Structure 1
Protein backbone atom coordinates (compact mmCIF):
# COMPACT_ATOMS: atom_id res chain seq x y z
CA UNK A 1 0.00 0.00 0.00
CA UNK A 2 1.36 3.39 -0.93
CA UNK A 3 1.66 6.11 1.66
CA UNK A 4 -1.77 7.70 1.94
CA UNK A 5 -1.96 11.01 0.16
CA UNK A 6 -5.26 12.02 1.70
CA UNK A 7 -4.30 12.39 5.34
CA UNK A 8 -4.59 15.77 6.97
CA UNK A 9 -3.11 17.15 10.16
CA UNK A 10 -5.68 19.32 11.85
CA UNK A 11 -6.50 20.35 15.37
CA UNK A 12 -8.57 17.19 15.72
CA UNK A 13 -5.80 14.93 14.38
CA UNK A 14 -5.23 13.02 11.18
CA UNK A 15 -7.92 11.58 8.97
CA UNK A 16 -7.90 9.02 6.18
CA UNK A 17 -10.49 8.49 3.46
CA UNK A 18 -11.05 4.78 2.83
CA UNK A 19 -10.21 3.62 -0.70
CA UNK A 20 -11.39 0.48 -2.52
CA UNK A 21 -9.38 -2.51 -1.29
CA UNK A 22 -8.47 -0.95 2.06
CA UNK A 23 -8.74 -2.71 5.39
CA UNK A 24 -8.08 -1.35 8.86
CA UNK A 25 -5.02 -3.63 8.96
CA UNK A 26 -3.59 -2.07 5.76
CA UNK A 27 -4.35 1.44 6.96
CA UNK A 28 -2.67 0.74 10.33
CA UNK A 29 0.41 -0.65 8.54
CA UNK A 30 0.67 2.55 6.49
CA UNK A 31 0.02 4.90 9.42
CA UNK A 32 1.77 3.11 12.29
CA UNK A 33 4.09 0.58 10.66
CA UNK A 34 2.12 -2.30 12.19
CA UNK A 35 -1.19 -3.72 11.03
CA UNK A 36 -1.77 -5.13 14.51
CA UNK A 37 -2.51 -1.59 15.68
CA UNK A 38 -5.74 -1.50 13.63
CA UNK A 39 -7.70 -1.63 16.90
CA UNK A 40 -6.65 1.96 17.71
CA UNK A 41 -8.28 3.13 14.47
CA UNK A 42 -11.37 1.01 15.09
CA UNK A 43 -11.82 2.32 18.64
CA UNK A 44 -11.40 5.94 17.50
CA UNK A 45 -14.16 5.44 14.93
CA UNK A 46 -16.75 3.46 16.91
CA UNK A 47 -19.25 6.22 16.12
CA UNK A 48 -19.26 5.16 12.44
CA UNK A 49 -17.94 1.57 12.59
CA UNK A 50 -19.69 -1.42 14.13
CA UNK A 51 -17.31 -4.08 12.81
CA UNK A 52 -13.58 -3.68 12.08
CA UNK A 53 -13.98 -5.91 9.01
CA UNK A 54 -16.62 -3.67 7.43
CA UNK A 55 -15.28 -0.40 6.12
CA UNK A 56 -16.40 1.22 2.89
CA UNK A 57 -14.76 3.46 0.29
CA UNK A 58 -15.44 7.10 1.01
CA UNK A 59 -15.63 6.76 4.80
CA UNK A 60 -13.44 9.31 6.55
CA UNK A 61 -11.67 7.72 9.48
CA UNK A 62 -10.00 9.48 12.39
CA UNK A 63 -6.40 8.32 12.81
CA UNK A 64 -5.43 8.75 16.46
CA UNK A 65 -1.88 9.42 17.57
CA UNK A 66 -0.54 6.44 19.48
CA UNK A 67 0.93 6.75 22.93
CA UNK A 68 4.09 4.70 23.25
Structure 2
Protein backbone atom coordinates (compact mmCIF):
# COMPACT_ATOMS: atom_id res chain seq x y z
CA UNK A 1 0.00 0.00 0.00
CA UNK A 2 1.36 3.40 -1.02
CA UNK A 3 1.66 6.11 1.62
CA UNK A 4 2.29 8.88 -0.94
CA UNK A 5 -0.07 11.84 -0.85
CA UNK A 6 -1.47 12.96 -4.18
CA UNK A 7 -0.01 16.35 -5.11
CA UNK A 8 -2.00 17.20 -8.25
CA UNK A 9 -5.35 16.32 -9.79
CA UNK A 10 -6.89 16.38 -13.24
CA UNK A 11 -10.25 18.11 -13.55
CA UNK A 12 -11.98 14.73 -13.44
CA UNK A 13 -10.04 13.56 -10.37
CA UNK A 14 -10.69 16.85 -8.56
CA UNK A 15 -14.42 16.64 -9.29
CA UNK A 16 -14.59 13.10 -7.98
CA UNK A 17 -12.47 13.87 -4.90
CA UNK A 18 -14.63 16.86 -3.90
CA UNK A 19 -18.01 15.50 -4.94
CA UNK A 20 -18.76 18.12 -7.58
CA UNK A 21 -19.16 18.06 -11.34
CA UNK A 22 -16.36 18.66 -13.81
CA UNK A 23 -18.37 21.70 -14.97
CA UNK A 24 -18.10 23.15 -11.45
CA UNK A 25 -14.33 22.70 -11.47
CA UNK A 26 -13.97 24.15 -14.98
CA UNK A 27 -16.20 27.13 -14.12
CA UNK A 28 -14.13 27.82 -11.01
CA UNK A 29 -10.95 27.79 -13.12
CA UNK A 30 -12.54 30.13 -15.70
CA UNK A 31 -13.68 32.57 -12.97
CA UNK A 32 -10.24 32.51 -11.37
CA UNK A 33 -11.45 30.86 -8.17
CA UNK A 34 -9.13 27.93 -8.88
CA UNK A 35 -5.66 28.36 -10.29
CA UNK A 36 -4.66 25.61 -12.71
CA UNK A 37 -1.24 24.67 -14.05
CA UNK A 38 -0.78 23.58 -17.65
CA UNK A 39 2.08 21.10 -18.09
CA UNK A 40 0.20 20.05 -21.25
CA UNK A 41 -2.93 21.47 -22.87
CA UNK A 42 -5.03 20.03 -20.02
CA UNK A 43 -5.25 21.76 -16.65
CA UNK A 44 -3.81 20.20 -13.50
CA UNK A 45 -4.83 21.40 -10.05
CA UNK A 46 -2.57 21.35 -7.02
CA UNK A 47 -3.84 19.58 -3.91
CA UNK A 48 -3.30 22.66 -1.71
CA UNK A 49 -5.07 24.89 -4.25
CA UNK A 50 -8.08 22.55 -4.26
CA UNK A 51 -8.20 22.43 -0.48
CA UNK A 52 -8.12 26.24 -0.24
CA UNK A 53 -10.84 26.53 -2.88
CA UNK A 54 -13.04 24.00 -1.08
CA UNK A 55 -12.55 25.72 2.28
CA UNK A 56 -13.60 29.05 0.74
CA UNK A 57 -16.97 27.71 -0.42
CA UNK A 58 -20.11 28.85 1.46
CA UNK A 59 -21.27 26.80 4.43
CA UNK A 60 -24.94 27.24 3.50
CA UNK A 61 -26.92 26.66 0.31
CA UNK A 62 -27.88 29.77 -1.69
CA UNK A 63 -31.38 31.11 -1.05
TM class by shorter chain equals 0.3 to 0.5
TM-score (norm 2): 0.42
Higher RCO by CA contacts (8 Å cutoff, separation 6 or greater): 1
Which has more helix, going by share of residues? 2
